[in-house]
Amino acid sequence: MPLITCREALNQAMAEELERDPNVVLMGEEIGQFHGAYKVTEGLLARFGPKRVVDTPISEAGFVGLGVGAAMLGLRPVIELMFWSFYSVAFDQILNNAANIRYMSGGLINIPLVIRGPANGGTNVGATHSHTPESVLASHPGVKVVCPATAYDAKGLLKSAIRDNDPVMFLENTILYNDKSEVPAGEYLVPLGQADVKRPGTDLTIVAYGRAVINSLKAAQLLEAEHDVSVEVVDLRSIRPLDEATILASVRKTHRVLLVEESKPFCGVGAQLAYLIQEKAFDDLDAPIKRVSAIDAPAIYSAPMEKEQLPHPQRIMKAVLDML
């Protein structure tokens, strides 16, 4: 299979869906002539034209609202946010309207809308450009939340998201855009709501998503090489819908679980997972559930300090060894 970057995989997914379905349109700031702030939409304007790849003004409330209306009328908009931090400007459009219209219309009106873009810290761009809002988004019924960790998953999940009839919040990580993995050249889908065991193990389960998966895999490799510890790494891929069965099966196999996320700990995804595990697999646990998350403060501008604020392999390793 071809070895391509996550950026290229996302580009392929959008190009294939634009080709397959004339109702798919792309919208966002600088996605056309400038090829996107992170060049994820490079070449798509020239290929599909300005009616399918639409440059918008710098007004998230405006173009997200436009996308919601277009979805109500049968189009399938894919909207790029330059940073997911700016979702707060369109909070009403996303979480008060898009999330609720299908329910409030008695199922008569679908909202096949994807909002995608980077949601991560670690790039030294300050607190207002480094939000990780997945737990906020996932707390609203009516939206789906996806966080890919690899190029393979990014392409397959994005294609599934574009074909879904509900609004899908697609959170990417700029640090992963250049990461490469094997991606089939042909058509394939990764279903929403299906986790993936990225690495099998027997001593402890790590449950993670996004870039935390990559750092957890690095920690697992070091733990095996240096301490003869076998760690299973479960990649959620989707936060909502959540694959409870895969999580619980892994916990029942290893009897210990560490939850790793780059989001803040208070009311985070890890808190929900911890409740799920203690409710449905308490008797299978041989140790308390532990968490590794971002340090609970606004994103630190200083590059060395921000690096320490986020989960990294050494922090993850220490937490695993403490549990064992």
CB 316 within 8 A of CB 292: yes
Q: What six digits make up the tokens of 275?
A: 């409740």
Rg (CA), the chain: 19
CB 218 within 8 A of CB 189: no
Is 129 a catalytic site residue?
Answer: yes
CB 170 within 8 A of CB 158: yes
The catalytic position among 16, 30, 129, 140 is 129
The tokens 């998350």 sit on which residue?
293
Dihedral sign (CA 142, 13, 62, 53): negative
The catalytic position among 17, 29, 60, 261 is 60
CA 213 to chain centre: 11
Q: How far is CA 241 from CA 26, 84, 228, 249, 269, in A?
A: 24, 20, 34, 17, 12
* DSSP 8-state code for residue 83: -
Beta bridge partners of residue 77, listed in sequence order:
25
CA pair distance 50, 81, nearest whole angstrom: 18
H-only helix segments in 26-175: 44-48, 60-72, 91, 101-104, 134-138, 151-163
The tokens 């798509």 sit on which residue?
44
Q: What six digits make up the tokens of 265?
A: 């700990």
Q: What six digits make up the tokens of 48?
A: 């599909």
Q: Which residues contact 79 (CB under 8 A, 6 or more apart)?
A: 26, 27, 28, 63, 64, 67, 113, 114, 115, 116
Asked if omega into 241 is within 30° of 0 (cis), the reply is yes
Q: Catalogue the active-site residues.
A: 60, 129
